[in-house]
Amino acid sequence: MPDINKSSKSPFDMSHLSLRADCENCFGLCCAALPFAASVDFAMDKDAGQPCRNLQSDFRCGIHTSLREQGFRGCTVYDCFGAGQKVAQITYGGEDWLESPRSAKQMFEVFPIMRQLHELLWYINEALTVQPASSIHDELRSMFNETERLTFLSPEALLLLDVDAHRGHVNSLLLKTSEFVRAEALLKLKSRPGQRKTFERGADLFGAKLRGADLRGANLRGAYLIAADLRGADLRATDLIGADFRDTNISGADLTDSIFLTQFQLNAAIGDTNTKIPPLLTRPTHWSNV
């Protein structure tokens, strides 16, 4: 990952400012800022800005070890890409919303914006590791630096930021990265257009039976893979950005060289010890051990 700007108004150790969640240095922002509705993922309704009833005064979850058993599966899926500690320790200099209640509303509104920026940083950072896209690495580095600069804006400036417009600029480079990766994969497979199954962005694959499918080099950007059967499927060099993996069965699947897969997506899926995942991601603890 490119070096993070060392300048900050906070003495917080910048080595913690990765693109992975560091809950120890956050103020329980995902537990307070975000809304959720009673469903299979959450045991109750909660409005945005209303602290979860399980959030303790030290910003720890009172049922952390039994979230799934108590109906809060959604909490075990969520990932902030490190935005929580950035907002807590850099944007607000370590001053939490309990100590400064007047900042709470603003902090809760800033957090989702920061989360979007950190998600973009994750994608750009991954694109910088992809050799087939080396011809645009300079552009990607510039975009990483600009996106990172935005994360150091004041709360007021962040609230005025047009994140959608910036996401559009980033996405144009991510699309190019995807095209380079998938074209090289198909070349190695000696495939020609029309020989392999193709998908449009946002493909409806809800409950699709794709067990053992060879999806190398496929474009599954934004695909609805909810409850799809991808057991044993080959997803190497597949673009998975934004794909909905809720209850997608990827047991035994090979995702080692897939691109733009996130921890959030893995956490939402069903996998096992035979599922091959990219080295930057972590095997979810709730996956099957068989």
pLDDT tens by residue, the chain, 290 residues: 333 333 333 334 433 348 999 999 999 999 999 999 999 999 999 999 999 999 999 999 999 999 999 999 999 999 999 999 999 999 999 999 999 999 999 999 999 999 999 999 999 999 999 999 999 999 999 999 999 999 999 999 999 999 999 999 999 999 999 999 999 998 888 765 555 667 888 899 999 999 999 999 999 999 999 999 999 999 999 999 999 999 999 999 999 999 999 999 999 999 999 999 998 899 999 897 64
For position 196, what pLDDT does the model report?
66
Same domain, 173 and 194: no
Same domain, 221 and 248: yes
For position 50, what pLDDT does the model report?
95
Cα-based angle 284, 286, 287 (whole degrees, multiple of 5): 75
For position 6, what pLDDT does the model report?
32
> Residue 133: inside a domain, yes or no?
yes
> Residue 252: inside a domain, yes or no?
yes
Same domain, 175 and 287: no
CA distances to 195, 210, 261 from 280, in Å = 32, 25, 10
Same domain, 244 and 163: no
Integer Cα distance of 200 and 18 in angstroms: 33
Same domain, 209 and 279: yes
Domain count, the chain: 2
For position 16, what pLDDT does the model report?
37
Same domain, 166 and 196: no
> Residue 174: inside a domain, yes or no?
yes
Query: Angle at which helices 104-127 and 137-151 pack, to 10 degrees?
Result: 170
- Segments forming the whole domain that contains residue 128: 14-34+78-180
Same domain, 112 and 95: yes
- Record the pTM: 0.90
Q: Which residues contact 113 (CB under 8 A, 6 or more apart)?
A: 158, 159, 161, 163
Same domain, 165 and 248: no
Q: Which residues contact 79 (CB under 8 A, 6 or more apart)?
A: 21, 262, 263, 264, 267
